Structure 1
Amino acid sequence: MTAHVGGAGSGRCLVRVCRDCCCGTEAKHPGVDHDGLLARLEAAVAGHARVMRSGCLLACDESNVVVVTPSPSGRRAGGRPVWVRGVLDDAIVDAVAAWVVRGGPGIAETPGAVVESTFAPSGLATSWATV
């Protein structure tokens, strides 16, 4: 059975990009090309992951937030969702994208730039993000 690209069971990571009250807004981060960064991420991981725009992930103090959820094989290998803060420039977008292309959580070693930007979400944020 073949799953469609980016669908459940596809063997690909899910990259959830918060875009709501704070993340992705000019009001919170003036001068940042939020749409350009999202397009850069989508282009870089095309065919390797599904990128999903999300409502508020309840981690507003950490914006812009991206959550990389492992593929099924990454999950089986022990990978867990990785929350990344401050995704506000090409460098961090490129680091996240390159990691995802290499397999993401549970498959590929997390690059230093991503490690430096990870954070532990609150329990509320974690439960909200799975909805």
Structure 2
Amino acid sequence: MGALTICRDCCCGSADKHPETDHDAQLEAIRGAVGDRHRVRVSECLRVCERSNVVVVHPTPAARRAGARLVHLGDVLDDTLVGAVAAWLDAGGPGIAAVPEPLTARVFNPADYAD
């Protein structure tokens, strides 16, 4: 089972920053896309507001033991990206399956945005 952490605090999920995105509907779409196959957690601010909306993809426990690490995705603002995240988790996620093409430009290192 894979897992996602969805930032929904300060800028992520903000109609002020992204008025064209229905953030509540997007969160429900993510939950619907992954169903009971994967866990979805909602987080307070992850401190990378420049990349909102942020989704963190967790490797499965077995992949983590083999060295896989969290993958941070920024600017996840449309249904195509939500579908790509769900498909990646279904394929095994970080450490098992390659990052899907629609998500490659969205991958970032949060340390690059540290204060």
Contact persistence 1:85–1:119 (CA under 8 A):
yes
Query: Whole-Å Cα distance in 1 between the matches of residues 22 and 67 of structure 2?
Result: 34
Return the alpha-carbon distance in structure 2 between the equivalents of residues 114 and 77 of structure 1.
Answer: 23
Q: Which has the larger radius of gyration?
A: 1
Q: Deviations over 1:21-44 (max 9, x none)?
A: 100010110021111111111111
Alignment of 1:1-131 (within 5 A): 12-122=1-111
**1:91 corresponds to which letter in structure 2?**
T
Query: What whole-Å deviation, never above 9, does each CA across 1:5-59 have from its counterpart, x for those lacking one?
Result: xxxxxxx222000000100010110021111111111111112210001000000
Q: Secondary structure at the match of 1:46?
A: helix
The alignment's TM-score, normalised by the length of structure 1, stands at: 0.81
**Whole-angstrom CA distance in 2 between matches of 1:108 and 1:82:** 12
Unaligned runs of 5+ in 2: none
Cα RMSD for the two superposed structures:
1.5
Equivalent pair of 1:18/1:56 in contact (CA under 8 Å): yes
Amino acid at match of 2:26: L
Q: How many residue pairs end up in the alignment?
A: 114
Structure 1 stretches of at least 4 aligned residues deviating more than 3 Å after TM superposition: none
Question: More relative contact order in 1 or in 2 (CA 8 Å, sep 6+)?
Answer: 2
Q: Which residue is equivalent to 1:4?
A: none
Q: Which runs of 5+ in 1 are unaligned?
A: 1-11, 126-131
Aligned-partner Cα distance in 2 for 1:81–1:23: 19
Distance in 2 (alpha carbons) for counterparts of 1:69 and 1:123: 19
